[in-house]
Amino acid sequence: MTLFSHPLTENADLRPLEPWQAEEFCTYVDRVRSHLVPWLPWAHTITDPESSRQFLQRYADEQARGGGRIFGIWSDGELVGGALFRIFDTPSGVCELGVWLSPEAEGRGLVTRAARHLVDWALKERGMARVEWRVTPANIRSIAVAKRLGMRHEGTLREVFPFNGVRQDLEIWALLAGDPADRQPAD
């Protein structure tokens, strides 16, 4: 039984990803590393259970201070993806949400459902004013999720992010607490 869980589908759920799950997270990253490395810096640095534990512990420490959080997406009991609030700045009311998913779990709406739930939690429960989504223009699947969430493209930061030996552009998508309710509510 999972203590803190939000159902995404009949056989998939979203729940906190914690330091005690470092081995499982490391195994997951090893299994799908080639799928993650084009997009996620931590896919390069999580290489063993200790680096996995340190990564998860940073988010546990941030959460204890009211900041960032990390969640896993499990399907049929297997870790298949996740979401995190990379930034969760309650004094300014601004947070940034990021997501990832294994190739075999794509196309089932898991990321959209998880992100929608977390966006609603940030805006309604935590009183955030703004949820941001930052993405390279090449990540078409991620941009599609931002659109499904009702986010608006606000601009592109040119060559702002050095990654994989190339300076990457980052598109900024955002949803404000006061934006029209033209999106689907969380499941």
Is residue 105 in a domain?
yes
Is residue 184 in a domain?
no
Is residue 92 in a domain?
yes
- Provide the pLDDT for residue 164: 85
Mean pLDDT, 10 residues at a time, the chain of 187 residues: 80 96 98 95 96 97 93 97 96 97 96 96 95 96 96 96 91 94 50
- Provide the pLDDT for residue 4: 83
In the beta sheet, which residues pair with residue 135? 171
- Provide the pLDDT for residue 185: 45
Q: Which helix (H) or strand (E) holds 168?
A: strand 166-176
Distance CA 129, CA 122 (A): 9
Is residue 38 in a domain?
yes
> Could you list the residue range(s) of the whole structural domain that residue 116 is in?
6-176
- Provide the pLDDT for residue 43: 95
In the beta sheet, which residues pair with residue 70? 84
Is residue 181 in a domain?
no
Is residue 185 in a domain?
no
CATH of the domain at 62: 3.40.630.30
Is residue 106 in a domain?
yes
CA distance from start to end of the chain: 21
Domain count for the chain: 1
Is residue 1 in a domain?
no
What is the DSSP code string of 122-160?
Answer: IIIIS--SEEEEEE-TT-HHHHHHHHHTT-EEEEEEEEE
